Amino acid sequence: MRPPKLTVVKTIRRRDIQIMNKRAVAVYKIKVLLLTALLLVTTDVSPQESKKVSHGNMLARMAPAASVFAPAARLSETGLIAFSAGGQIYVMNSDGSGVSPVTDRVPEVRNLYPALSPDGSRIAFIRDEGVGNYALCVIGVDGKNLQRITGGDIPLGEPAWSPDGSRLAYVRGYDPTSEGFAGLTSCSPDIYVIDVASRKEVNVTQGAGGTDPSWSPDGTRIAFSSNRDGNYEIYTAALNGSQSFNGSQIQRLTYTEWAEAEPSWSPDGGRIAYVAHLIQANSECGFMPTGGAINLASSSVYLMNADGSNQTSLAGTTGTTELSWSPSGAWLALALRVRGDAQIYVIDAWGGNLTKLTSDPTPKYSPSWARYQTTSK
């Protein structure tokens, strides 16, 4: 039989543990309250957005970019992201490091709408020369070998590489869905496709109107935005032998009272991401900033299957203007406005881990992630 004294000692220790546990719980509650207060003070998510962004996402926004993602996820997403800022083109690593300029500063010249080639070696972009001249150009990611592909006195925008890197789709004419420069002529924008080597081009929309082209991974279809039915909606169309759209194979995917734009086809071809809840532009042609023609206050990212089914919003993306898929299709790069500050973010394709990659005050636009894995800088 055990001595009574030993039983008393055990009882005292059990009580001590209970007291310690109660104190630990109290300390934990205090830490949670302090952390919540800190988040409310420091996060740059608006009150409306905070309802959509999870607690984990807000923590991610406060942490350094390199520590936000699980190591396996980040290792699978190497490569470069191109973007425009202050009229210049830049590239950076997919974690936001290694930002470097690609274009040189020239007075009165703005370089816009960068599009990384599928292999990540070249960037197509629009050069606004400031004297009524516009050019579709291609340049190496190292800033060398600048080429002028086509141009003229009509505004150009939104270049997009074909999957094999041989052709470029782009917009010619006034584009009210863009965040770019002012339109001088041509109310209705059209989509053209040009062969980079031969410079042979064709108007694929043929006056019916279209903006924001994005190629399917197999190169047989293009997703685009158009107001051909009275409101900017997302369509896909097959290309025929002459590279014009086959009129019998144009499919409208969205039907809303809002305007939809900036479709981006996923690398596996199964989904299309796009920006929804834009307010329809009803301005006449003329000299005006195209970015002022739409209301971005409620814009956000939506995902849908390539046939238009299963349209769902991506939480935490209010204020998105443009987007681009990562090579694996697990992430999206976003040009996102938060309280008027336009920066480049990444978010996973399920609406988590929203992470800010750029932070200086210059507004950022047109993120472009190379379709295939590329070498980081």
Question: How many CB atoms are located within 10 Å of the residue 74 CB?
Answer: 16
Compute the C-alpha angle 7/13/19, nearest 5°: 140
The answer to whether the beta carbons of residues 212 and 177 sit under 8 Å apart is yes
Of the CA atoms within 13 Å of residue 89, those in its CB half-sphere come to 30
Q: Give the integer Cα–Cα distance in Å for 172 and 150.
A: 11
Q: Which structural domain range is residue 11 located in?
A: 1-42
Mean pLDDT per block of 10 residues along the chain (377 residues) reads 38 40 42 37 33 28 30 55 96 94 93 95 94 93 96 91 95 70 55 94 88 94 90 89 71 91 95 87 45 57 97 92 93 90 93 93 94 59
159: in domain: yes
The answer to whether the beta carbons of residues 296 and 319 sit under 8 Å apart is yes
3-state helix, strand, coil split of the chain in percent (to 5) is 15, 40, 45
Question: Same domain for 22 and 102?
Answer: no
DSSP 316: T
Q: Give the integer Cα–Cα distance in Å for 136 and 150.
A: 5
CA distances from 42 to 38, 39, 62 (A): 6, 5, 8
Question: Same domain for 33 and 54?
Answer: no
374: in domain: no
Question: Same domain for 205 and 95?
Answer: yes
Q: Give the integer Cα–Cα distance in Å for 179 and 110.
A: 13
CATH code of the domain in which 263 resides: 2.120.10.30
The number of distinct structural domains making up the chain is 2
Q: Give the integer Cα–Cα distance in Å for 67 and 99.
A: 18
Q: Give the integer Cα–Cα distance in Å for 155 and 182.
A: 8
The continuous run of DSSP H or E covering 262 comes out as strand 259-265
- Please state the separation of Cα 2 from the chain's center in Å: 72
377: in domain: no
Q: Give the integer Cα–Cα distance in Å for 276 and 15.
A: 59
Instruction: Assign 278 to helix, strand or coil.
Output: strand
162: in domain: yes
- pTM score, whole prediction: 0.76
Question: Same domain for 112 and 32?
Answer: no
Question: Same domain for 119 and 220?
Answer: yes
375: in domain: no
Question: Same domain for 23 and 153?
Answer: no
119: in domain: yes
Question: Same domain for 264 and 352?
Answer: yes
Question: Same domain for 305 and 321?
Answer: yes
At 291-334, the pLDDT tens digits run: 443 445 578 999 999 999 999 999 989 888 899 999 999 999 99
Q: Give the integer Cα–Cα distance in Å for 96 and 331.
A: 14
152: in domain: yes
Question: Same domain for 105 and 36?
Answer: no
Question: Same domain for 54 and 105?
Answer: yes
Question: Same domain for 23 and 130?
Answer: no
Question: Same domain for 349 and 227?
Answer: yes
Q: Give the integer Cα–Cα distance in Å for 86 and 365.
A: 9
Exposure of 41 by Cβ count < 10 A (0-12 exposed, 13-18 middle, 19+ buried)?
Answer: exposed
At 118-174, the pLDDT tens digits run: 999 999 999 998 888 999 999 999 999 999 999 998 889 999 999 999 999 999 986
